[in-house]
Amino acid sequence: MNAVNEKKVAALEAVKYVKSGMTVGLGTGSTAFFMIEAIGEMVQNGMDIKAVATSNETEKLATKLGINVITLAEAKRLDVTIDGADEVDEDFQLIKGGGGALLREKIVAHNSVLNIIIADSSKSVAKLGKFKLPIETIPFATQLIIEELRGMGLSPVQRKKDDADYKTDENNDIVDIDIWDTDIKLTDLEQQLKTIPGIVETGLFLTTTNLVIIGNGEKAIVKKR
Ligand SMILES: O=C(CO)[C@H](O)[C@H](O)COP(=O)(O)O
């Protein structure tokens, strides 16, 4: 089975955790797309939920499908969030941000009681870091941050789109770094990166995930923390 079908299998398993009356965090990306589509159908069939979107793209899709999108401030706390990942390891640690939405995604995950990650089988890895780790930076500081990260041996590359700097929904930059060969423990790396002024957030999600659902062929493999 191909990756697209595995994404759908994982998404359809995950939406079983969404019940009427809940406030739901909606992730971003091609896997999250199938989850939003399925929740849209559930809403059209009478389910009453409120949702918080992790990106402008997700908000647009959810609204189009008739999902009641509210602000995080209105929601205060989310019952469940379903989101994708670029990599997930056996300890429920993730790299996220391939789609550039890591900042809102991490805020929503932090404020959610249950966090479910959905992915196709290619995202399940023994060690994080083949996928370059996205870092969101304030444009004022991006070039100096790149130099500092280069000094740390992390081979930073500023993300581009159509020959221009890629911009997040918050109008920040993304710098992708290579953590594959680093000896630094992930928790320490996260801490070190967050101490550099101008780094707003990293795509390392080390503690927030409760449930991982991997589409594997026709089956969904559910892993609980
Ligand atoms: O973190 C993300 C966006 O910021 C996505 O969840 C991640 O990039 C996975 O995307 P996809 O499901 O399209 O492979």
Q: Any idea what the CATH number is for the domain that residue 147 is in?
A: 3.30.70.260
Q: Fill in the DSSP letter of residue 172.
A: -
157-to-16, 43, 144, 162, 178 alpha-carbon distances in Å: 39, 41, 12, 15, 9
54-to-10, 102, 165 alpha-carbon distances in Å: 19, 8, 21
Q: Are residues 141 and 106 in the same domain?
A: no
Percent of the chain at pLDDT > 90 equals: 99
CA 201, CA 65: separation in Å to the nearest integer? Answer: 30
214 CA from centroid of ligand 1 (Å) = 14
- Residue 206 CA from chain centroid, whole number: 12
Is residue 177, in this structure, part of any structural domain at all? yes
Residue 216: phi and psi, rounded to 5, are -130, 100
Q: Is the pTM of this model over 0.95?
A: yes
Residue type, position 176, single letter:
D
**Which residues make beta-bridge pairs with 173?**
137
Q: Are residues 106 and 170 in the same domain?
A: no
Percent of the chain at pLDDT > 70 equals: 100
ipTM entry: 0.98
Is residue 129 marked as binding?
no
Q: Are residues 9 and 74 in the same domain?
A: yes
Of 149, 147, 79, 92, residue with least CA distance to 119: 92
Query: 183-218 pLDDT, tens per residue?
Result: 999 999 999 999 999 999 999 999 999 999 999 999
How confident is the model at residue 80, as a pLDDT?
A: 98
Residue 20 and residue 49 in contact, taking contact as beta carbons nearer than 8 Å:
yes
Domain tally for the chain?
2
Domain housing 34: 3-125+206-217
Tell me which residue has tokens 């908000």: 59
Is residue 222, in this structure, part of any structural domain at all? no
Question: Is 136 near ligand 1, meaning CB less than 6 Å away?
Answer: no
Question: 105 catalytic, yes or no?
Answer: yes
Q: Are residues 79 and 103 in the same domain?
A: yes
Is residue 181, in this structure, part of any structural domain at all? yes
Q: Are residues 193 and 212 in the same domain?
A: no
How confident is the model at residue 39, as a pLDDT?
A: 98
Would you place residue 1 in the very low, low, confident or very high pLDDT band (cuts 50, 70, 90)? low
Q: What is the mean pLDDT of residues 23-50?
A: 98
Instruction: Give nearest CA residue, ligand 1 atom 6.
Output: 84
185 CA from centroid of ligand 1 (Å) = 23
Is residue 223, in this structure, part of any structural domain at all? no
Q: What is the mean pLDDT of residues 30-59?
A: 98
